Amino acid sequence: MADPLSPRTDLSLPPLGYGAANVGNLHRALTDEEAHAVLEAAWDAGIRSFDTAPHYGLGLSERRLGAFLATKPRDEFVLSTKVGRLLVANPGGEGSLDLDNGFHVPQTVRREWDFSEAGIRRSLDESLERMGLDRVDLLYLHDPELADLERDLDSGIRALAALKSEGRIRATGLGSMSADALALGAESGALDALMVAGRLTLLEQPALADVVPACERTGTGIVTASVFNSGLLAHDDPSANPRYEYGDAPPEILERATRIADICRAHGVSLPAAALQYTLRIEPVRSVVAGSSRPQQIRQNAEWMRAPIPDALWDDLARDDLIP
């Protein structure tokens, strides 16, 4: 049995979860049939943890994921979604796409920040309606640093606690790319999990400064996301796809990734396998979430997560100051 996310919940997560932004048409449009094939590949690969958000495709990810999971036994999977962005009507938006946020979907609705208790309850209810399911297991506050961090974190934590005490969710969390926001969430001691996106990877570990120590003090679990650093670590040769933070990788970042890849190659280990497995070596980390819009890539991720990695690889990376 896996360790629970925190002493405040009995919910645990498997090592690998699927992040469902891609079935919300992130970066490229998928048909409903293609999205179903992606999710079926994840299920067939043994993945039983799924993460989504209203933000992903303006609700499309939740609708597609919910339709898929409705065909599976409810007790066989763990589901998380997020709150903080309500979807409200956007008259006239059907003629344009949500490309500023990376999603190939019509802007028939727009996002509206709301971390109030009423807004969070409404967001959860609307997510459940979109998914056609009766509950989620884990509910994250989503990017509160992009609105009013201290105010929204305070109201959001209280709202999540109320939902948990009512039995509507099993665990509470905060998902962000901001180390400052994540550290504040951990220091509160009120959350079960943080989704640390891009701040704790094989390439760079800024979350080790404040976030991880705060989680260790408060017993808060960590779920890591964006562990491929937007694609830079997703291939054995980083120069083949030098994307970083959704843009071109700076020369010093590409050079560091190439050094890591060279050491992986010397040990006969695929760079993406090392990237997927690295954060699970850090004690508060309970699970890794990875997404893809291609079934073969999902099957490959599951294989990489099971690939044997010798301790000598981690020792050599540490010796060259590439990881702590």
- Residue owning tokens 């990489």: 304
Distance between CA atoms of residues 223 and 189, nearest Å: 16
Residues 216/283, Cβ–Cβ less than 8 Å: yes
* 228 phi and psi angles, rounded to 5 deg: -90, 5
Residues 170/10, Cβ–Cβ less than 8 Å: yes
CB atoms within 10 A of CB 161: 16
User: Is 246 one of the annotated active-site residues of the chain?
Assistant: no
Q: Are strands 243-244 and 221-225 parallel, antiparallel or unpaired?
A: unpaired
56, 140, 244, 278: the catalytic one is 56
CB atoms within 10 A of CB 56: 28
Q: How far is CA 53 from CA 37, 47, 80, 243, in A?
A: 20, 18, 8, 24
Residues designated catalytic: 56
